[in-house]
């Protein structure tokens, strides 16, 4: 990369859009903000589990959880990051809720506009970049299997056993539409990154939003997919890197991916055995298959070796996977792609 990191940030001013949600986007954004100032997190809005699900059901608000994680990732205030992640350990109705989720929901109820809540939180957290909901349509995630059976809700789908069903149909009910700010961000980006994450519960609900494919096709940006490190039991068993990339393009609706970044490293045996016991396996790759692909596959050792910081009330750190991406290695590769 030419120049210092600060020179790259200020002189070249690369524009990144990161599509996804949850800990995958959190990890990627935490590293990428070290190399770029103009980052937009375009966030999945189908979450309905845990604190988010309760707030959706009881208050009728849009899901705050993934938005909160992305806001925290881009914040430059350690104290406010910890505050927004603070999860009430007790207190009747408050138990299990994070402060950030309650804050976003309260402002939405007060102003009747979720975007106002995100904007105010962005100011308070002093975030570097922007966090934008991919849609503000209040939709439910729908999975339709080959036999016609239907599973409703992101949480249920994320924990559903596909029983060998491949290429499930993922949709939103009602049909969700891309926000104007999201459309503008995609069309003006230099690099669009599809973050690692739950393929059917986190990435698909962002990619199938009406208008996302059209905006990506219109954009001159390079489209990069950062592949998952491990498979998900009962959903992506046996998936290799090219299988994940194929599903990503199926949800987009066109073969638009330019680069796929994947891991070539293997974690310590003791840690790997823990994952294998739970049905998760390291995602494998097929070099011969890559030769037939239209995108450029870039393999790197991407497993983080540094310990996870464990602050007392850091809800994200405590739930983060032990096998996780080396966010700096991924970010450096994204910058190389930007300069190609």
Residues 6 or more apart from 124 whose CB is under 8 A from it? Answer: 80
Alpha-carbon dihedral 126, 128, 134, 137, rounded to 10 degrees: 10
- As a three-state string, the secondary structure of the chain is CCCCHHHHHHHHCCEEEEEECHHHHHHHHHHHCCCCCEEEEEECCCCCCHHHHHHHHHHCCCCCHHHHHHHHHHECCHHHHHHHHCECCCCHHHCCCEHHHHHHHHHHHHHCCHHHHHHHHHHHHCECCEEEECECCCCEEEEECCCCCEEECHHHHHCCCCCCCCCCEEEEECCCEECHHHHHHHHHCCEEEECCCCHHHHHHHHHCCECHHHHHHHCCCEEEEECCCECCCCCCCCCEHHHHHHHHHHHHCCCCCCEEEEECCCCCHHHHHHHHHCCCCECECCHHHHCCCCCEEEEECCECCCCCCCCCCCHHHHHCCCCCECHHHHHHHHHHHHHC
Tokens for 251, please give them. Answer: 């949800």
Task: Give CA–CA dist 54/57, Å, rounded.
Answer: 5
Over the Cα atoms of the chain, what is R_g?
A: 19
φ, ψ of residue 258 to 5 degrees: the values are: -95, -35
Task: Give CA–CA dist 36/74, Å, rounded.
Answer: 11
How high is the pLDDT of residue 316? 44
Contact 87, 96 (CB under 8 A): yes
Bridge partners for 140 per DSSP: 173
How high is the pLDDT of residue 278? 87
Residues 6 or more apart from 126 whose CB is under 8 A from it? Answer: 75, 76, 77, 80
Model's pTM, two decimal places? 0.93
Residue with tokens 């030769």: 291
How high is the pLDDT of residue 11? 83
Q: How far apart are the two ends of the chain, measured CA to CA in Å?
A: 10
pLDDT tens over the chain, length 340 residues: 667 788 777 788 899 999 999 899 999 999 999 999 999 999 999 999 999 999 999 999 999 999 999 999 999 999 999 999 999 998 888 999 999 999 999 999 999 999 999 999 999 999 999 999 999 999 999 999 888 889 999 999 998 998 877 889 999 999 999 999 999 999 999 999 999 999 999 999 999 999 999 999 999 999 999 999 999 999 999 999 999 999 999 999 999 999 999 999 998 888 888 888 889 999 999 999 999 999 999 999 999 987 555 544 444 444 445 789 999 999 999 999 999 9
Domains located in the chain, CATH noted: 5-339 (3.40.50.10680)
How high is the pLDDT of residue 309? 56
């Amino acid at each position: 990369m030419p120049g210092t990191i600060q020179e790259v940030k200020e002189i070249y001013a690369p524009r990144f859009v990161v599509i996804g949600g949850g800990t995958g986007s959190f990890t990627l954004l935490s590293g990428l903000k070290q190399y770029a100032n103009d980052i937009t997190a375009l966030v999945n809005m189908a979450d309905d589990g845990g604190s988010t699900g309760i707030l959706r059901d009881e208050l009728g608000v849009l899901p705050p959880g993934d938005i909160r994680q992305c806001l925290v990732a881009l914040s430059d205030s350690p104290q406010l990051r910890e505050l927004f992640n603070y999860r009430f350990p007790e207190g009747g109705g408050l138990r299990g809720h994070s402060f950030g989720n309650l804050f976003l929901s309260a402002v939405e109820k007060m102003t009747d506009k979720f975007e106002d809540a995100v904007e105010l939180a962005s100011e308070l957290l002093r975030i570097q970049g922007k966090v934008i909901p991919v849609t503000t349509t209040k939709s439910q995630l729908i999975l339709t299997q080959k036999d016609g059976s239907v599973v409703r809700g992101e949480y249920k789908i994320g924990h559903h056993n596909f029983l060998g069903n491949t290429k499930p149909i993922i949709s939103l009910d009602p049909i969700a539409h891309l926000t104007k700010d999201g459309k503008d961000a995609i069309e003006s980006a230099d690099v669009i990154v599809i973050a690692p994450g739950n393929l059917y519960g986190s990435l698909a609900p962002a990619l199938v939003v009406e208008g996302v494919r059209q905006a990506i096709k219109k954009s001159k940006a390079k489209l990069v997919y950062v592949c998952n490190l491990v498979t998900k039991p009962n959903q992506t068993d046996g998936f290799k890197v090219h299988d994940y990339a194929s599903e990503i393009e199926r949800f987009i609706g066109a073969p638009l991916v330019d680069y796929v970044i994947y891991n070539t490293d293997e974690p310590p045996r003791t840690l790997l055995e823990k994952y294998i016991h739970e049905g998760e396996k390291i995602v494998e790759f097929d070099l011969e298959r890559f030769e037939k692909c239209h995108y450029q596959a870039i393999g790197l050792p991407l497993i983080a070796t540094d310990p996870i910081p464990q602050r007392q009330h850091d809800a994200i750190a405590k739930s983060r996977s032990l096998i996780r991406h080396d966010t700096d290695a991924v970010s450096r590769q994204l910058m190389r792609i930007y300069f190609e």
